[in-house]
Amino acid sequence: MLRLTDVVTHYGPIRVLKAVTLEVRAGEIVCLLGGNASGKSTTMKTILGVVRPTAGRVEFEDRRIDRLPTEAIVRRGVSLVPESRRIFARMTVWENLAMGAFTRQKAPAGELAEDFERVYTLFPRLSERQHQLGGTLSGGEQQMLAVGRALMARPRLLLMDEPSMGLAPALVDQVFDIIQTINRQGTTILVVEQNAAVALSIANRGYVLQNGRIVVHDTARALLAADHIRRAYLGED
Amino acid sequence: MAPPGWLRWVAWALGLAAVVGPLLAPNDYWIGVMARICLYATLALGLNVVVGFAGLLDLGYVAFFGIGSYVYAFLASGHFGLHLPFFVVVPIVVVATAVSGLLIGAPTLRLRGDYLAIVTLGFGEITYLLLINLDRPVNITGGPSGIIGIDPPALAGFTLSRNTEYYYLFLAALALALIASVRLRHSRVGWAWQAIREDELAAKTMGINTTVAKLQAFAMGASFAGVGGSFLASWQRSVFPENFLFTESINILAMVILGGTGNLLGVVVGATLLVTLPEVFRDFQRYRLLVFGLMLMVLMVVRPQGLLVTDGRREEQEDQAV
C-alpha cells in the first residue's frame, strides 16, 4: 500500500533521512521505532508531503506521491495524527473534527454525519464535549480529538506520530486499544513510537530507524524477542 | 458558537444609533467624526481578516490604504486628466489593492509572527517613500504635495458634498464590510484561515493549501483598504503621503486589538473609540495624546482580551493565565 524507496530528505544542508526504505501492506499495523532525532517525524512529514524528499520515491497504492502537494495526498487517503497532537485550541471539538474533513467538501452531508458518528462512538468523551473548546480538554482527550480529526478525512492509511507521548500509562493502553479497533475497522496504520514494547505488542511488523537509516526490520514478535535489538535500538536494559 | 444575547442587543442598538446619528449630532463637525468612524471601521475589518482571522501580523496595512487612495486619485482627478465615474473607479481600486496584497503576501509566505511583522512594516515604509518621491523624473504621485482636486463621488447625477451624505455612503460600506466579514468567517477559506492561525502545520496536514489561503487573506484584507482609500480620496478631495504614515498602521491595528481580535463587533467598537476619544480629549489640548495613550494602557491592562470577546474565548484565556 505504501512503499518508500531510498528516501532522502534534507532540512537545509542537513541530511535527516539518508536512505529510508520501508513498506506498509494493506491491513497492517506497522511500527516505526527509533530514538530521538533518528528521523521518525521527518519520515512521517515526508510521506504526507509536508517536507519534500530530495531523492528516492514514495508510492501510495502503486502511484508516486512524493511530488504531490499535501492536500492531494490527504485526498488520496493518507492522514496524519501529528506529534504532540496539535489540535486547534480555540475551536470547539466539533469544529476540530470538521476541519479534519476539510478536503471532503464535496462529500454528501449524510456521509459526514456517519463519520462524526463513528468518531463519537470510538470516543464517547468527545461527543459529550463537542461544544467545548479544544484547548480546554485534558491531554488524553486532546489525543482522542487528534485521532478523531485524522479519521474525519476517511483515510485508508493513518499515520500516527507518537500517540502515547505525555500520556499516563492507563491512557497509553487505551490509545493502543483504539488503534487496534481502528485497524480492525479497515484502516492501515503506520505508527511512530518511542514506547517500543507497547507499540510492538499491537503491531504486525516493525522497522528501527537510526540516524536517518532503517537498520533493522522484522516481524513485531521477532523484534520483541530479540534481546540484542531491544538493548541496542529500543533503549531498554 | 452563537454570540451571547446581550451582544445581539448591543449590535442592534449600535445599528440604530448609526442610522439616526446625524440627526442627533450637535454640528457638522461631529457628523464628520462619525463618517471617519465608519471609514476606519471598514479598514479595521479589513486588517481583521489578516490579523484576526488568519493570525498574520501585518504592520504595514496602511500601504494598501495609501495605494487605494492614490489609484482613486489617478483615475478621478485632473492629475492625469482622467475623470472616471465613482462606480467605475472603486472596483478598479479594489482589484488594484487586492493585487498589491498578493504582491506583498507572496514573498512573506514562509514568515510568521515577528518576522512577518518586520517585512510588512518595511513594505509600509517603502510605499510611503514611493508616494513622496515618485514626482521625479516623471510626476506620478505629486510628491510631498500630493494630488489635489479629486472628484467627489457622483451617483446618478447627484454629487456628494455634505458630510451627512458621505456619512451614509461610508455607513453603507461598513455594513457591507460587516456582512462580508461574517460570511467570510463561516466560509471554507474562513475556516482555513482560522486553522492556520491556530496551528499552521496542523492546518497543512488537514489538507489546507496554506499558501493559497494566506494569499487570499492578504488580498481580501487589502481590498477592504481599497474601498477605504477610495473613500478617503473622494472625501478629502486630495491625498498626501502624510495620510499614510506608520502611525496609521498602528492606529488601525490598535482598533482590531482593542475591540477583541477576531470579534467583528469588537473591531467596530475599537474603531469608534480610537476615532472618538482623541476628539473628546481636545479639552486637554496638548496633553490630549498623553491622556489617550494612558487610557489605552488602562484598557489593555484591565481587559487584555479586548473589550468584546465571546465567553468561551475568555474562559480559555483565563485558563491560560492560570
What percentage of chain B exceeds 70 in pLDDT?
Answer: 94
Mean pLDDT throughout B118-123? 92
Mean pLDDT throughout A39-60? 94
Instruction: Give residue A198's pLDDT.
Output: 87
Distance CA B104, CA A142 (A): 36
Instruction: Give residue B319's pLDDT.
Output: 44
Q: Where residue A59 falls among pLDDT bands split at 50, 70, 90?
A: very high
CA triple B135-B138-B140, angle to 5 deg: 55
| A133/B208 touch (CB, cutoff 8 Å), yes or no | no
Write out the H or E segment, with its range, that includes residue A209. Answer: strand A205-210
Which range is least confidently modeled, B93-97, B222-226, B279-283? B279-283
The CA distances from residue A24 to A31, A59, A81, A139, B100, in Å, are 9, 10, 17, 29, 47
Instruction: Say if A44 is an interface residue toward chain B (CB within 8 Å).
Output: no
Instruction: Give residue A31's pLDDT.
Output: 94
| A98/B204 touch (CB, cutoff 8 Å), yes or no | no
CB B224 within 8 A of CB B46: yes
Residue type at A68 in one-letter notation? L
Q: Is the pLDDT of residue A18 over 90?
A: yes
**Average pLDDT value for chain B:** 87
Q: Where residue A225 falls among pLDDT bands split at 50, 70, 90?
A: confident
What confidence tens digit (pLDDT) does each residue in A176-204 have? 999 999 999 999 999 998 888 888 999 99
Buried b (16+ CB within 10 A) or exposed e, B304-315: ebbbbbbebbee
Q: How far apart are the first and last CA of chain B?
A: 24
What confidence tens digit (pLDDT) does each residue in A87-142 have? 999 999 999 999 999 998 888 889 999 999 999 999 999 999 999 999 999 999 99
**Average pLDDT value for chain A:** 91
pLDDT top residue among B316 and A1: A1
What confidence tens digit (pLDDT) does each residue in B15-70 have? 888 888 888 888 889 999 999 999 999 999 999 999 999 999 999 999 999 999 99
Residue type at B262 in one-letter notation? G
| A71/B198 touch (CB, cutoff 8 Å), yes or no | no
Q: Which of B199, B206, B316 lies nearest to residue A102, judging by beta carbons? A: B206
Mean pLDDT throughout B6-19? 82
Q: Is the pLDDT of residue B134 over 50?
A: yes
Distance CA A39, CA A47 (A): 12
What confidence tens digit (pLDDT) does each residue in B154-195 have? 877 888 888 999 999 999 999 999 999 999 999 999 999 999
| B204/A50 touch (CB, cutoff 8 Å), yes or no | yes
Which range is least confidently modeled, A39-43, A152-156, B283-287? B283-287
Q: Is the pLDDT of residue B242 over 90?
A: yes
Specify the DSSP class assigned to residue A27. T
Q: Nine-digit cell at A196?
A: 517500543
Contacts of B292 (CB under 8 A, 6+ apart): B277, B278, B281
CB A91 within 8 A of CB B194: yes
Residue type at B120 in one-letter notation? T
Q: Where residue B88 falls among pLDDT bands split at 50, 70, 90?
A: very high
Q: Nine-digit cell at B286?
A: 496638548
Distance CA B172, CA B160 (A): 14
Using the structure block, give the residue that is written with the C-alpha cell 461598513: B174
Instruction: Give residue B311's pLDDT.
Output: 43
Q: Is the pLDDT of residue A214 over 90?
A: yes
- Interface of chain B toward chain A, CB-CB under 8 angstroms: 1, 188, 191-192, 194-195, 198-199, 201-209, 312-313, 315-316, 319-320
Instruction: Give residue B310's pLDDT.
Output: 52
Mean pLDDT throughout A8-34? 93
Q: Is the pLDDT of residue A28 over 60?
A: yes
Distance CA A77, CA A106 (A): 15
Q: Which of A70, A89, A98 lies nearest to residue B198, judging by beta carbons? A: A89
Q: Nine-digit cell at B265?
A: 463587533
Q: Where residue B288 falls among pLDDT bands split at 50, 70, 90?
A: confident
Instruction: Give residue B81's pLDDT.
Output: 87
| A133/B207 touch (CB, cutoff 8 Å), yes or no | no
Instruction: Give residue A236's pLDDT.
Output: 52
| A99/B195 touch (CB, cutoff 8 Å), yes or no | yes
Q: Which residues of B touch A82 (CB under 8 A)?
A: 201-202, 205
Distance CA A46, CA B276 (A): 53
Q: Is the pLDDT of residue B144 over 50?
A: yes
